[in-house]
């Protein structure tokens, strides 16, 4: 028997069992569009009168289960810290200057400039109106970091490395992460339960809807955006800088 046939003989029974289990699970699913949850209906009816937010999803994330979201935010913080620790510069790699590699195509640079600016604008809009329309700190934060990452694609490693600096990113990330806790503690200091909406509830449909929630929203956005840029920065430093250096 060739290796291919042996692999097939081993894989087929396993795939058959997996397929059967999946089919069994699928056949037991409720019909399409059948919604069993009660909390969805409850929050859809309560979010606007209680929290003055028209986007019930963001109200849920930052208020009804705000404490869980704080945990999630710190999962991201810890994950990024782990990556930074793993990809840190060791002694032999040294602290070289970033290689001066730039994209020379005018068309790409021009298109890229519009992409970066447009992306950043959309991201800020997603964050700012996170409590009004779909979006919010998490999505907007990732979008903002992605817009910044386009700078590398459109302008090259040199311009990217000059702008993505630890000195700016680390304080932003820490401020974002601690901001959430500070907003929570502010309520505690005032003698109210942790994360109570002190400034709320705000005016529905405006940038100020949700009160404290809008600050939590911006804190999360800052943390997520900075965390993602730090990730990109470390990846690019580790993987692309040696290549660019070899070429330059």
Whether the Cβ atoms of residue 174 and residue 162 lie closer than 8 Å to each other: no
Of 192 and 235, which CB lies nearer to another protein in the complex structure?
235
Contacts for 49 with CB less than 8 Å, ≥ 6 apart? none
Question: What is the nearest approach in angstroms of another protein to the Cβ of residue 192?
Answer: 29
Question: What is the nearest approach in angstroms of another protein to the Cβ of residue 219?
Answer: 18
Of 23 and 182, which CB lies nearer to another protein in the complex structure?
23
- What is residue 207's DSSP assignment? T
Closest CA to 131 of 220, 224, 42: 220
Q: What are the counts of helices (DSSP H) followed by strands (DSSP E) for the chain? A: 10, 0
Q: How far is CA 112 from each of CA 118, 128, 165, 174, 179, rounded to the nearest angstrom?
A: 10, 24, 21, 29, 33
Give the integer Cα–Cα distance in Å for 195 and 63.
8
Give the integer Cα–Cα distance in Å for 44 and 53.
10
Question: What is the nearest approach in angstroms of another protein to the Cβ of residue 230?
Answer: 13
Closest CA to 138 of 206, 85, 75: 75
Q: What residue ranges bind another protein (CB under 8 A)?
A: 31-36, 55, 57-58, 103, 105, 108, 126, 134-136, 138-139, 142-143, 145-146, 149-150, 152-153, 228, 231-232, 235-236, 238-240, 242-243, 246-247
Neighbour count for residue 159 (Cβ, 10 Å) = 18
Of 31 and 71, which CB lies nearer to another protein in the complex structure?
31
- The answer to whether the Cα torsion of 149, 154, 156, 158 is positive or negative is negative
Contacts for 234 with CB less than 8 Å, ≥ 6 apart? 83, 84, 87
Question: What is the nearest approach in angstroms of another protein to the Cβ of residue 212?
Answer: 20
Of 1 and 107, which CB lies nearer to another protein in the complex structure?
107
Question: What is the nearest approach in angstroms of another protein to the Cβ of residue 77?
Answer: 17
Of 147 and 195, which CB lies nearer to another protein in the complex structure?
147
Question: What is the nearest approach in angstroms of another protein to the Cβ of residue 17?
Answer: 20
Of 55 and 212, which CB lies nearer to another protein in the complex structure?
55
Question: What is the nearest approach in angstroms of another protein to the Cβ of residue 191?
Answer: 34
Of 105 and 182, which CB lies nearer to another protein in the complex structure?
105
């Amino acid at each position: 028997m060739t290796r291919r046939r042996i692999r097939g003989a081993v894989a087929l029974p396993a795939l058959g069992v997996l397929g059967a289990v999946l089919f069994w699970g699928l056949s037991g699913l409720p019909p399409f569009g059948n919604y069993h949850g009660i909390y969805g209906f409850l929050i859809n009816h309560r979010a606007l009168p209680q929290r003055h937010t028209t986007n019930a999803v963001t109200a849920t994330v930052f208020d009804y289960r705000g404490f869980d979201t704080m945990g999630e935010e710190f999962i991201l913080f810890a994950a990024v810290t782990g990556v930074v620790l793993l990809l840190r510069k060791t002694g032999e790699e040294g602290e070289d200057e970033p290689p001066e590699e730039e994209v020379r195509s005018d068309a790409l640079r021009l298109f890229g400039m519009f992409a970066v600016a447009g992306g950043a604008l959309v991201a800020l809009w997603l964050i700012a109106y996170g409590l009004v329309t779909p979006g919010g700190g998490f999505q907007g934060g990732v979008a903002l970091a992605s817009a910044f990452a386009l700078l590398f694609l459109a302008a090259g490693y040199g311009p990217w490395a000059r702008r993505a600096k630890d000195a700016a990113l680390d304080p932003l990330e820490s401020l974002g992460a601690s901001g959430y806790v500070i907003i929570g503690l502010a309520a505690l200091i005032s003698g109210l339960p942790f994360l109570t909406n002190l400034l709320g509830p705000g005016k529905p449909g405006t940038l100020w809807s949700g009160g404290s929630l809008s600050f939590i929203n911006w804190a999360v956005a800052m943390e997520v955006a900075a965390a993602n840029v730090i990730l990109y920065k470390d990846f690019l430093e580790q993987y692309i800088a040696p290549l660019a250096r070899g070429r330059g």
